[in-house]
Homo-oligomer: A and B are copies of this chain.
Amino acid sequence: MRLVVIGGSAAGMSAAARARRVSPDTEIAVFEKGPYVSTSLCGLPFYISGDVKSWRDLIVYTPEYFREKRNIQVFTEHRVKRILPYKKKIIVEDRNGVEEEIAYDRLVIATGGEPERHFDGENVFYLRRIEDGIRIREFIEKRGPRRAVVVGGGYTGLEVVDALYRRGMKVEVVEMEEVLLPAFDPEIGEDVRRMLENKGIDVILGKRITSLPEGDMVIFTTGISPRNKLAQDAGIETGKSGGIKVDERLQTSHFGIYACGDCAEFRDWVSGKRRIFPLGTVANKTGRACGENAAGGNVKIRGIVWVSVFRVLDMEIGKAGLSLKEAREFGMDAESVMIEGKNLAHFMPDAGKVKVKLVYERGTGRILGGEVWGEGVQRRVDILATAIKTKMNMDELAMLDLSYSPPFSPVWDPVVIAARKGGKK
C-alpha cells in the first residue's frame, strides 16, 4: 500500500510518522512545496525576538531523519498541482518544473492555511512559513529598522508586537475591527490595548488597510484561511468555513482521502458546529489521527475544544471553548460572569492580578467557555478546557478540588470564585 501526504508541516509529518508507526509495510511519501518539513511555526515569534537563536531549532526533524530513521520518503520543493481522485493519482511538479503523476492508495491532505496577501515589497512581510521568519529576522539584523507596523491584532500579531518591542523597536499595531483580539470578548482586547499603550505601542483600531502603511517594516498577520484549492479542484467537499469537510475518522467526501490541520474543518465540541482550528496542537492531533486511520486504524475525533494561550509583554491571555460573542453567534442561550482576582496568595509579595470570564448556558449552567488574562493564565485555561471537555456545569466547577500553595495560587482559585458567582444567578 502507498500512502501519499500533501504538505510537510506539523499535520502532514504527524500523519506520516503515525502511519509508519502503525504500519511498518506501507510505502509513505510526503510532498512539500517549500524547502523545509516538520517545522514549528508557533515558534516563529520567538525566533524573531531572538529568544530562539537559530531557525534550525524550529525544525523538529529533517527530511534525512524521516528517510533514514523512519523510512518515509520526503520530497521538498515539490508542488502538488492536482489531485485526480478517480485515477488515485496526484500530479507533482518537482524543483526543476518537471511534472509527474504519482499513484496513491490513501491520500492525506495537509496543505495548511494561507495568509491573506495584500502587498509586496522588500520591507513587507507575512508570517506563515519558516522562510518568512528567516526573512524578517535577516531584515532586522541587517537593516536595523526602528519602526515597525504590525497589521492584524489577533494573537499572532500580538506575539510579533511583543518580539519587536523587546528588540527595542517602535511598534504600531493596526486592527480592522474596533477592538484588539476579535476572537475574544471585547474586555480582553480593551485591557490589552491599555497595556500596550502604556508601553508606548501605538494601537490603531477600526482601520482597514487600503494602502501600504508607513514604517521601516510592515508585517501582516491578518487572517489565515484554509488552503483548499487542490481539494476543491478535485471535487472534494469544503464547508462554510472554507475548510475541507471530514468525518470523525477525518476522511473527506472521497473514500481513502483524509484531511488534517489548518486546511480542514472539525466539529467544535461546545457548539457542535464545524469550524477551523488553526492551532499547532490541533494540527498535530488531527495529523496523528489521519495517519493512523489512513493506515487502517479507527481513531475518532468527535470534537475539539478550542484552547489557546499566549503572552504579550506583561500579560498572559488564554481562552478555552467559546467567547460570549461566539456562543451567541452559534445560537446558544449563553450568559457570562467576570471576576478579577489574585493569581497567588494575597500575602505573597509578587502576587499579581488575573481576570476570569466564564461563559455558560442559561438553565443548565453548562460551561461553554472561559477567557483568562493577566498572570497565571495557562493553568486556569487548561482547567477550564478539561471542565468543558467533560461537560461540567458551573456548580461542579465551583466545587472542583484544585491545588494550592502560596507561591502558586490562592486558596480559593479565581476560576472557582467565578464559577460560584455565576452559579448563583
Q: Which residues of A contact B (CB under 8 A)?
A: 10, 40, 42-43, 46, 51-53, 57-58, 60, 269, 279-282, 284-285, 304-311, 316, 318, 320, 345-349, 378-379, 381-383, 385-387, 389-390, 392, 399-409, 411-412
Contacts and interface: CB of A to CB of B under 8 A. Distances in A.
Contacts of A403: 281, 307-309, 318, 320, 378, 381-382, 385
A349 B57 CA distance: 10
A8 B353 CA distance: 28
Contacts of A400: 385-386, 389
Q: How many copies does the complex hold?
A: 2
19 contacts: A40-B345, A40-B347, A51-B348, A53-B349, A281-B402, A284-B411, A307-B402, A308-B403, A309-B404, A309-B405, A309-B408, A310-B405, A379-B379, A379-B382, A382-B382, A382-B403, A383-B383, A385-B401, A389-B400
A332 B378 CA distance: 33
Contacts of A399: 285
Contacts of A392: 390
Contact of A308 (B316, B381, B405): B405
Contacts of A349: 51-53
Listed from nearest, the 5 A-B pairs whose CB atoms lie closest are: A379-B379, A390-B390, A57-B347, A309-B403, A305-B401
A392 B390 CA distance: 8
Nearest to A407: B311
Given A382-B382, A386-B383, A406 B347 contact: no
A199 B27 CA distance: 52
A301 to B, nearest CB: 8
A53 to B, nearest CB: 8
Interface-central residue, A381, A392, A400, A404, by most chain B CB under 10 Å: A404
Interface-central residue, A53, A60, A392, A402, by most chain B CB under 10 Å: A402
A382 B284 CA distance: 23
Given A40-B345, A282-B401, A383-B386, 9 more contacts: A43-B406, A46-B406, A281-B402, A284-B411, A309-B404, A309-B405, A382-B382, A383-B383, A386-B390
Nearest to A301: B399
A347 B58 contact: yes
A422 B266 CA distance: 27
A279 B40 contact: no
A77 to B, nearest CB: 24
A297 to B, nearest CB: 13
Contact of A406 (B42, B316, B389, B411): B42
B378 A347 contact: no
Given A404-B309, A411-B284, A52 B347 contact: yes
A280 B404 contact: yes
Interface-central residue, A10, A282, A345, A401, by most chain B CB under 10 Å: A401
A310 B346 CA distance: 17
A99 to B, nearest CB: 35
Contacts of A281: 401-404, 411
Contact of A42 (B306, B386, B390, B404): B404
A402 B389 CA distance: 10
A159 to B, nearest CB: 8
